[in-house]
Amino acid sequence: MRTQTEKGIAFRALHERDGAFIIPNPWDVGTARLLAHLGFEALATTSAGYAFSIGQRDNTVGRDKVMAHVRDIVAATDLPVSADLENGFGDDPETVAETIRLGAAAGLVGGSIEDSTTRRDDPIYELEHAAERVRAAAELAHSLPFPFALTARAENYLLGRRDLNDTIRRLQAYQEAGADVLYAPGLASKEDIAAVVSSLYRPVNVLMGLPGVRLSLAELSEIGVQRISVGSVLSRVALSAFIRAAEEMRDYGTFSFGDDIVSFRDISAMMKDGR
Residue 261: its pLDDT value, please?
95
> Please, which contacts does 265-268 make with residues 24 or more away whose CB atoms are closer than 8 Å?
267/34
Q: What is the pLDDT of residue 249?
A: 98
Write the CATH number of the domain with boundaries 4-273: 3.20.20.60
Residue 272 has a pLDDT of: 74
Q: How many residues does the chain have?
A: 275
- Side by side, the strands of the sheet bearing 149-153 are 21-23, 227-229, 204-207, 181-183, 149-153, 110-114, 81-84, 43-44
Q: Which residues have CB under 8 Å from 155's CB, separation 6+? A: 114, 115, 116, 123, 124, 184, 185, 186
Model confidence, pTM:
0.96
Which pLDDT tens digit goes with each residue over 114-150? 999 999 999 999 999 999 999 999 999 999 999 999 9
> Tell me, what's the pLDDT at 271?
87
**Contact assessment for residue 21 and residue 227, using Cβ atoms and an 8 Å cutoff:** yes
Three-class secondary structure of residue 271 per DSSP? helix
* Predicted pLDDT of residue 274: 52
Q: How many CB atoms lie within 10 A of CB 5?
A: 13
Q: Which residues of the chain register pLDDT less than 50?
A: none
pLDDT of residue 273: 57
